[in-house]
Amino acid sequence: MPILRLAIATPLRRLFDYLPPVDLDDDAVAALSPGCRVLAPFGARQVCGVLIAVAEETEVPSDKLRPALDILDTTPLVSAPVLALCQWAAEYYRHPAGEVLAAAFPGGLRRGKSSAADTELVWQLSERGRGLPDGALRNAPRQAELLAALQQWGAVSWERLKDAGHSTPTRRSLVQKGLIEDTRRPIEPGEPRWREGPPLSPEQAAALDAVNSGQFASYLLHGVTGSGKTEVYLKLVERALAAGRQALLLVPEIGLTPQLAERLARRFDAEIAALHSGLADGAREAAWEAARSGRAHIVIGTRSAVFASLARPGLIVVDEEHDASFKQQDGFRYSARDLAVKRGQLEKVPVVLGSATPSLETLQNALAGRYQHLRLSKRIGDSQLPGVDILDIRKLPLRGGLSEGLLQAVAGELDAGNQALLFLNRRGFAPTLQCHDCGFIANCRHCDARLTLHRAAGELRCHHCEWRMPLPDRCPSCNSRALNARGVGTEQAEAVLRERFPDYSIHRVDRDSMQKRGAMATLMDTVNRGEPCILLGTQMLTKGHHFPGVTLVGLLDTDAALFSADFRGPERMGQLVTQVAGRAGRAERPGRVILQTHYPDHPLLRTLLQQGYDNYAGQLLEERASLKLPPFGQLLMLRAEAASLDSAEQFLAELRQAADPGSAQLIGPLPSPMQRRGGRFRAQLLGLARNRSALQRLAVQLVSEAEASPSGKRLRWSLDIDPLES
């Protein structure tokens, strides 16, 4: 008896065996392909699983074996390479295959909704209509004309018939007579066309030539901002399209980075499908189907688009590959960038990772020759990369985090008709509310974190859980009215700038001000009209935007990053500073960058500013190598969250006790950097291994112990392979 082996979205790390549905004959079972969805009983529920394999035997005792209920698809909904990718990811991340596969479907299809496939409704002659003698319907000339049109055109959409002047009543009459009928047929992909781009610079041309289409290899396209990386992507896409293939481009956040999508739309007269979480279910499904059917020539999407099936894949691009948003931080903790490389291997297509500030992992892969290192060292045209001036703010008075020197520089640019961009990676008015009389600090009730003061909203908010409370007017501890805002957030800097520059527009860009869909695109349009203005914002401003009118970039406060407890802190700081600085002087106007700091002599800062990101990254790599930290060692983190720190730590201590790490090293249990978050206490166990296989062995052990442990059932635990936060 053949056995259907299904992946079902449950927390259990295994596949589930079923008998074929009772009404399915042997031939139909033999014809089943992996990747089809199957409806099956699961406990008292019915679930929609994905067929992974048809097996010949099972370990499930025959009295426990139940038949599946229905096969939902006649052809696989997930392409074979994506199915293989999901299985690989389930192994690699030690995550339940059913949950991994759930990431490969849009919501409705995941729940078992029938696939609309990528079809369109067309009209054609029925059998009776085809058999009609010449000259029939002489008394109904309109109907005769419509019949003649269908005779000539075959099956066509109603749109086309309507354009030719046929009316709905005519159609209805013919349907009533049984002479015509509607049917669905796959939408034919159109012929993509594109406009000629600018002639490539020698470096761009060399990069383009180096990429071998039609076979797998990974490339790092490493070029400073404005060096023409996007132009190289466009040429690669063109090449894929010319070969009749599809291109998949992954970007950090579409809402924040509409730029690439816009440039694609301008260059290509082709079907472009966008896949991201901001879409309504229907739109997401339509885009997903267009990718799968091959009708979409270009698919651009965020993280989860790495799982979108493509009928004719030809190219995978990961733009801003260093961006942390490619890593999912909860549930199924995968790296879309790493999976993109794996996918390229499975699909046999080139994978291009692009960045001005590559992650140390990717850079090391390039330096070690695993990825081909393609460099674009110069900006396009005459535009110069701005130098960075350090502004030593020790002892200087600051207003809203701004020194007089920086304010004057801003004034100078505005007066000259230019734009200024100010970067402060903290939203809200102030990160701390403190009582001047007793020292009380407003903390979150559920987290080990301070509450951020949001003055406009009159609230204190926790940025780690969703907790908020009205702004108190007296100290809860001593009843004093002397409550002071400490530290500076964007809201406060904005207030100071408005006071100082009442005649100029000031655009604040952070998660609070950019909540509306499309807000970023609207802002970009406004700013790129070129009137002098100030852009003030958080990390959101660093994400791949081009602001050609910006001639001054000011970094208000990046000092905290110099002393980060996380070993990735310096890497992130280098990327952030370089990315922000790269926003200035893109076009013909030279730019200038001013960095305010209390530590002008800090060695990290000096290396970064004097020698540039690449040398800085090289130095960080040496440090990582000597400490055997990633990318020279492999890391995993097992985190437990419980009602008390004790139970979290005890559970992890049990695991550690039981584990035989071999050559790998276990560190902890330790309280997590933020011990209490959202009311739960968190502790973690870190595993550090020399190589992947040692890490995998350790991961397998830890997970099977955690699954078997009775205390594991009483708390939440999760495994993060290649964690970005530690």
* Site of interaction with Zn ion (CB under 5 A): 435, 437-438, 440, 444, 446-447, 462, 464-465, 467, 475, 477-478, 480
- Nearest residue (CB) to ligand ADP, 81 versus 252: 252
User: Shortest Cβ distance from residue 680 to Zn ion (Å)?
Assistant: 11
- DSSP three-state, residue 73: coil
3-state secondary structure of 540: helix
Q: Return the one option of ligand ADP, Zn ion, none that residue 231 interacts with (CB less than 5 to 8 A, by type).
A: ligand ADP
> What's the longest Cα–Cα distance across the chain?
100
CB 630 within 8 A of CB 624: yes
Nearer to ligand ADP, 443 or 528 (CB): 528
Peptide bond into 106 cis (omega under 30): no
> Looking at beta carbons only, is 224 or 435 nearer to ligand ADP?
224
Q: Which does 223 bind (CB under 5 to 8 A by kind): ligand ADP, Zn ion, none?
A: ligand ADP
Partners of residue 443 on adjacent β-strands: 450
Q: Which two tokens stand for residue 95?
A: 């995550």
CB-nearer residue toward ligand ADP: 125 or 224: 224
Nearer to Zn ion, 46 or 480 (CB): 480
How distant, in Å, are the alpha carbons of 28, 33, 168, 405, 550 from that of 416?
Answer: 75, 66, 63, 17, 12
CB of residue 376 to ligand ADP, shortest distance in Å:
7
Shortest separation between residue 157's beta carbon and ligand ADP, angstroms: 37
Tell me if 289 sits within 8 A of 116, measured CB to CB.
yes
The binder of 434, among Zn ion, ligand ADP, none, by C-beta within 5 to 8 A per type, is: none
In angstroms, give the least distance from the CB of 426 to ligand ADP: 26
Question: Which among Zn ion, ligand ADP, none contacts residue 477 (Cβ within 5 to 8 A by kind)?
Answer: Zn ion
Do 178 and 255 touch, CB atoms closer than 8 A?
A: no
In the complex, the smallest distance separating the C-beta of residue 297 from ligand ADP, rounded to whole angstroms, is: 20
Omega before residue 631 within 30° of 0, cis: yes
Q: Which two tokens stand for residue 471?
A: 């702004």
User: Cα separation of 404 and 421, whole Å?
Assistant: 16
Q: Which residues bind ligand ADP (CB under 6 A)?
A: 198-201, 204, 223, 225-231, 380
Helix (H, G, I), strand (E, B) or coil at 177: coil
Q: Which is nearer to ligand ADP, 249 or 695 (CB)?
A: 249
Per the CB < 8 A criterion, the answer to whether 180 and 150 are in contact is yes
267 binds, among Zn ion, ligand ADP, none (CB under 5 to 8 A by kind): none
Q: Using CB distances below 5 to 8 A depending on partner kind, what does residue 480 bind out of Zn ion, ligand ADP, none?
A: Zn ion
| Spatial separation of the C-alpha atoms in residues 26 and 530, rounded to whole Å | 69
Phi, psi of 202 (to 5 degrees): -55, -40
As measured in angstroms, the least distance from the Cβ of 467 to Zn ion is: 5
**Nearer residue to Zn ion within complex by CB, 433 or 520:** 433
DSSP assignment string, 244-278: T-EEEEE-S-TTT-HHHHHHHHHHEES-EEEE-TT
**Closer residue to Zn ion in complex, CB, 451/698:** 451
Q: What is the DSSP string of 695-711?
A: HHHHHHHHHHHHHH-TG
Q: Indicate which of ligand ADP, Zn ion, none lies near residue 467 (CB less than 5 to 8 Å, by partner kind).
A: Zn ion
Sign of CA dihedral 542, 544, 545, 546: positive
**Residue 475 touches which member of ligand ADP, Zn ion, none, C-beta under 5-8 Å by kind:** Zn ion
Q: How far is the CB of 452 from Zn ion (least distance, A)?
A: 10
Tell me the C-alpha distance between 600 and 521, whole Å. Answer: 36
The answer to whether the CB of 7 falls within 8 A of the CB of 101 is yes
239's contact among Zn ion, ligand ADP, none, with CB below 5 to 8 A by partner kind, is none
* Rounded Cα distance, 10 and 560, in Å: 41
CB of 590 to ligand ADP, least distance (A): 15
Nearer to ligand ADP, 289 or 320 (CB): 320
Q: How far is the CB of 480 from Zn ion (least distance, A)?
A: 5
